[in-house]
Amino acid sequence: MDFSKTFNDYKEKVEAYLEEISSFELPNPCYFSKLQDSVKYSLLAGGKRLRPVILLAACEMAGGNTEDALPFAAAMEMIHTASLIHDDLPAMDDDDLRRGRKTNHKVYGEATALLAGDTLFVYPFEIMAKATKTENQAKAMQIIAYNTGVMGMMGGQQVDLSYEGKPVTEEIIVQLNRLKTGALFRAAVCAGLSLAGASQKELEAGEKYGEYLGLAFQLVDDLLDDDPDADTGKTKGSDISQNKSTYLSVYGKEKCLEMIHTCTKNAEKILTDTFLEKAEFLITLTNQLETRKS
Amino acid sequence: MDFSKTFNDYKEKVEAYLEEISSFELPNPCYFSKLQDSVKYSLLAGGKRLRPVILLAACEMAGGNTEDALPFAAAMEMIHTASLIHDDLPAMDDDDLRRGRKTNHKVYGEATALLAGDTLFVYPFEIMAKATKTENQAKAMQIIAYNTGVMGMMGGQQVDLSYEGKPVTEEIIVQLNRLKTGALFRAAVCAGLSLAGASQKELEAGEKYGEYLGLAFQLVDDLLDDDPDADTGKTKGSDISQNKSTYLSVYGKEKCLEMIHTCTKNAEKILTDTFLEKAEFLITLTNQLETRKS
C-alpha cells in the first residue's frame, strides 16, 4: 500500500464532496448569500481533513463502501469546522488566525460567523439524513451527534471554559481533552465502522483505538503550540497566553513525549489484533501523527 | 373535540419528554455540568411549545402515531430554543429578556450560552437518529435540518443581519420572514406529515399550509412587538429600537391585519380541502393564533 497516495485519494474525495455540497444553488434574488460565502470560506480553507479520512479508512477497514460513507465523512469535517469558527469568536478564544488565514469573524463579522458555525453544525445532519436508508447509517449519525454534544466535544469545550486560568488537576485535563478532541476521533472511527456493519467487538476495539489516537493527537498538539518551529496555522503560543491548561503544563515535555509513544503503540496493537492486515493504513497514519510537525 | 384539552395534552407530552431527555446522567466527577444547566435553563423555561404541538397534530391528522413522533416534536423545540439563545447574544440582538426571564448569556455568560445553543442544534439530531428505523423518519429529519439551515431559518437570520437599519423592499422582508420564522412552521407540519407516511399531495398541501401559518404568525408577532399591552416576555419594542424592518414598518397596521385574516382563511381552506374533518385541531389552532395577545 502506498500510504501517501491512499491518504490523498481519501482527502481528494472529501474535498470534492465538500465543494459540491457547499455550492448549492441559492434562490434568485437571494439576500443571504453572505452566509454561504462565510461557510465556504472556512469549510474550503484546506486543513488536514484528518477526521473524514479516518472515517473513510475505518469504513474500508471493516469492509464498507467509501462512496456511500462520503456524506458521513464530510459531516465530520463540517462539525470540526463549525467548532473552530465558534472557538475563535471573541466570546471564546478570540483568535485572529486559523489555518494560516484570518478567522471567519475577522472577515465576515461576529454575527455571520456565529451563523456560519450554526449552519455547519446542522447541515451535516441534512446531508446524512438524506443519505440514510439503513439502521447502520442512522446509528452512524447517532454516534456522530453524541460525540459532538454535551457528552462529547461541546462538554469538553465547557470544561475548557470553566477552568481557564485556574489550577487544574490531572483528572480535569484528562476529561477536557477526552471530550474536546478525543470525541470526534472516536466518532470518526466508530461511525466509519458502523457504516460498514462492523460487529460489536469491532466497534469496541474502534472506540479504544479512537481513544488512544485522540489522546496522542492532543499531546502532540500541545507540544506544537509551544514549538516556535511548528507550522500550525494558528496564533503561536495562544494556549499559553490564554492561561489554558494543557497536557504540557500538567505533565511537562518529557512525560508528554513518553505518553505519545505509548498511546501510539497501544493504538497500533488494538488495530492489529482486531483488523489484521486490513489495519495497515490506519496504523501508518497513527505512526505519522506521532511525528507530525503541523 | 375539546381544543384546549387536546392542545394541553400535546404540550404536556412534549414538556415531559424535554424534561426527560435533558436530564441525562453526567459522568462522576463531571467538570462541565454548567453546560447542562444552561441548556435546561432555556429549554425548560416554558413557552408556547407551538412548533412541537403542530408537528404532533400534523402527524395525527395524517393518521400517524404521536408517541413515535415525540423525538421529532422535541427536536423542533430544541432547535427553536437554540436559535433564541444565539439570537439574544450580544453579537446578534443583544437582548436581556426572553420568556419573561433573563436571557441565557445574562445568567451563564456568553461563552456557555454559545455552547448551549450549539448543543441544542445538535442534540435533536442525536435523539432523532436514535429513533430512526424507517425512511419516513429519515425524511422527517432531513426536512427539519433543511428548514433549519441556510435555505431556512439561518438564511433568514442572515437576511435580518444584512439589512438591519437599512431601507428594505417588500421582496426582502418577505424572504426574511419566509425563512426566519416560516421555515420552522413548514418543517413542523411537513415532518409531522412525513412521519405519518403522508402522500406527496398531502405533503404539498402541508407545505402551503405551513407557509400561510408562518406568515400569519410573524405578522401578529410584529403587531404585538409594537403593542404596549401585549405580553411577549421579550424586551418591548426591541425590533423598532434596533431599526429592524418588520411587516408593520413596511405595510402599516391596517394592511397587516388584513393580511393576517387572509392568510388564516387560506390556511383553513387548504387544510379542510385536504384533510377534511381530521383538520379540526389545526384549523382551530390557526384561528386562535390570529387573535393571540402573547
Does residue B242 fall inside a structural domain? Answer: yes
The domain spanning residue A97 has which CATH number?
1.10.600.10
CB contact under 8 A, A133 and B129: no
In this prediction, residue A1 carries a pLDDT of: 85
Q: What is the ipTM of this complex?
A: 0.96
In this prediction, residue B129 carries a pLDDT of: 98
A172-195 pLDDT tens trace: 999 999 999 999 999 999 999 999
**Mean pLDDT of the B188-216 span:** 97
pLDDT band per the 50, 70, 90 thresholds, residue A236: low
Does residue B12 fall inside a structural domain? Answer: yes
Contacts of B150 in chain A (CB under 8 A): 24, 32, 35-36, 39, 119, 123
* Gap between the Cα atoms of A19 and A21, Å rounded: 6
CB contact under 8 A, A149 and B112: no
Does residue B212 fall inside a structural domain? Answer: yes
Torsion sign across C-alpha atoms A25, A31, A37, A43: negative
Residue B145 has pLDDT above 80, yes or no: yes
Does residue B86 fall inside a structural domain? Answer: yes
Of B36, B122, B159, the CB nearest to A32: B159
* Gap between the Cα atoms of A156 and A184, Å rounded: 11
**pTM confidence score:** 0.96
A245-293 pLDDT tens trace: 788 888 999 999 999 999 999 999 999 999 999 999 999 999 999 988 8
Does residue B27 fall inside a structural domain? Answer: no
**Mean pLDDT of the B14-34 span:** 97
Of A81, A89, A82, give the one whose Cα is nearest residue A107.
Answer: A89
Tally the domains of chain B: 1
Does residue B26 fall inside a structural domain? Answer: no
Residue B170 has pLDDT above 70, yes or no: yes
Closest-CA residue of B relative to A91 is B111
* Gap between the Cα atoms of B119 and B67, Å rounded: 24
**Mean pLDDT of the B190-218 span:** 97
**Pairing assessment for the beta strands A101-102 and B101-102 based on DSSP bridges:** unpaired
Q: List the single best residue of B126, B141, B159, B180 to mutate versus A (max A Cβ within 10 A).
A: B126
Owner of C-alpha cell 439502521: A135
Closest-CA residue of A relative to B94 is A111
Strand partners, B97: B102
**Could you give the 3-state DSSP secondary structure of residue B102?**
strand
C-alpha grid cell, residue B32 = 462541565
- Nearest-Å Rg of the Cα atoms of chain B is 18
Does residue B28 fall inside a structural domain? Answer: no
CB contact under 8 A, A159 and B89: no
Residue A167 has pLDDT above 90, yes or no: no
Contacts of B156 (CB under 8 A, 6+ apart): A32, B175, B176, B177, B178, B179, B180, B181, B182, B183
A80-123 pLDDT tens trace: 999 999 999 999 999 999 988 999 999 999 999 999 999 999 99
Interface contacts (A, B; CB < 8 Å):
175
* Gap between the Cα atoms of A207 and A201, Å rounded: 10
In this prediction, residue A292 carries a pLDDT of: 86
A27-58 pLDDT tens trace: 999 999 999 999 999 999 988 999 999 999 99
In this prediction, residue B246 carries a pLDDT of: 86
In this prediction, residue A73 carries a pLDDT of: 98
Residue A240 has pLDDT above 70, yes or no: no
CB contact under 8 A, B158 and A34: yes
Nearest Cα of chain A lies from the Cα of B125 at a distance, in angstroms, of: 6
In this prediction, residue B241 carries a pLDDT of: 61
Closest-CA residue of A relative to B35 is A158
Contacts of A50 (CB under 8 A, 6+ apart): A289
pLDDT band per the 50, 70, 90 thresholds, residue B233: low
pLDDT band per the 50, 70, 90 thresholds, residue B144: very high
Give the range of the structural domain holding residue B275, as residue numbers without chain letter. 3-21+33-289
Of B48, B84, B55, give the one whose Cα is nearest residue B71.
Answer: B55
Residue A238 has pLDDT above 70, yes or no: no
Cβ burial of A287 (10 Å; 0-12, 13-18, 19+) is middle
Of A91, A142, A159, the CB nearest to B129: A142
In this prediction, residue A10 carries a pLDDT of: 98
Share of chain A above pLDDT 90, in %: 86
User: Residue A292: left if φ>0, alpha if ψ -120 to 50, beta else—which one?
Assistant: beta
Residue A235 has pLDDT above 70, yes or no: no
Nearest Cα of chain A lies from the Cα of B122 at a distance, in angstroms, of: 6
